[in-house]
Amino acid sequence: MAPPREAVALDEGALLAAAMPDAGRRPSPASRARLAGFAWAALSVTIFSGWFVVTRFSVTRELGIWDITALRFGIGAVLLAPAVLRRGSRPPVAAWGEGLVFALLWGMPFVLLVALGLKLTSAAQAAAIAPTLMPVFAGLFAWTFLKEPQGRLRWIGYGAIAAGLVALVAAGAALHGPPDPLGLAALAAAAAMWAVYTLLFRRSRLTPIQAAALICIWSAILFLPAYLLLGLSRFAHAAAGEIALQAAYQGLLMSGVAIITFNRAVSLLGAGAATATIALLPAVAALLAVPVLGETPSPAECGAIALIVLGVLLASRPSQRSRPTERRRP
300 by Cβ neighbours in 10 Å (0-12 / 13-18 / 19+) ranks as middle
* pLDDT tens profile 42-76: 899 889 888 888 888 887 788 989 999 999 999 99
CA distance 176 to 185: 19
Q: What's the length of the chain?
A: 330
DSSP structural state of residue 4: P
Across-strand partners of 319? 322
CA angle, corner 318, sides to 155 and 40, nearest 5? 110
Instruction: Give yes or no for a contact between 209 and 260, defined as CB atoms under 8 angstroms apart.
Output: yes
The pLDDT of residue 318 is above 70: no
Amino acid letter, residue 296: T
- The whole-number average pLDDT for the span 222-233 is 96
**What is the residue-wise DSSP string for 182-213?**
HHHHHHHHHHHHHHHHHHHHHT--S-HHHHHH
With H, G, I as helix, E, B as strand and everything else as coil, classify residue 316.
coil
* pLDDT tens profile 108-150: 999 999 888 888 887 777 887 888 888 889 999 999 999 988 8
- The whole-number average pLDDT for the span 25-32 is 74
pLDDT at 191: 93
The pLDDT of residue 238 is above 50: yes
pLDDT at 294: 65
Instruction: Give yes or no for a contact between 288 and 141, defined as CB atoms under 8 angstroms apart.
Output: no
Amino acid letter, residue 82: P
Conformational region of residue 24, where left means phi above 0, alpha means psi within -120 to 50, and beta covers everything else: left
pLDDT at 16: 40
- The whole-number average pLDDT for the span 266-274 is 82
CA 18 to chain CA mean position, Å: 43
pLDDT at 91: 92
Task: Give the chain's mean pLDDT.
Answer: 83
- The whole-number average pLDDT for the span 242-251 is 93
Q: Is the dihedral of CA 118, 121, 124, 127 positive or negative?
A: negative
- The whole-number average pLDDT for the span 273-294 is 73
pLDDT at 57: 81
The pLDDT of residue 8 is above 50: no
DSSP structural state of residue 319: B
The pLDDT of residue 17 is above 50: no
CA proximity to 322, closest of 150, 145, 152, 137? 150
Of 100-104, 182-186, 226-230, 309-313, give the lowest mean pLDDT range.
Answer: 309-313
The confidence band for 9, taking pLDDT boundaries of 50, 70 and 90, is: very low
pLDDT at 295: 65
Other residues' Cβ atoms within 10 Å of the Cβ of residue 29: 10
CA 91 to chain CA mean position, Å: 24
User: Rounded to two decimals, what is the model's pTM?
Assistant: 0.79
The confidence band for 287, taking pLDDT boundaries of 50, 70 and 90, is: confident
Distances (CA, A) of 31 to 35, 60, 271, 273, 322: 6, 44, 17, 14, 14
CA distance 225 to 213: 19
First to last CA, the chain: 66
The pLDDT of residue 100 is above 90: yes
Distances (CA, A) of 84 to 78, 137, 211: 11, 30, 9
Domain residue spans in the chain?
Answer: 42-315
pLDDT at 4: 52
CA proximity to 188, closest of 114, 120, 245? 114
CA distance 21 to 16: 8
Angle, helix 181-202 to helix 271-278, in steps of 10 degrees: 150
- The whole-number average pLDDT for the span 276-302 is 74
DSSP structural state of residue 149: -
Instruction: Give yes or no for a contact between 250 and 72, defined as CB atoms under 8 angstroms apart.
Output: yes
The pLDDT of residue 316 is above 80: no
Amino acid letter, residue 138: A
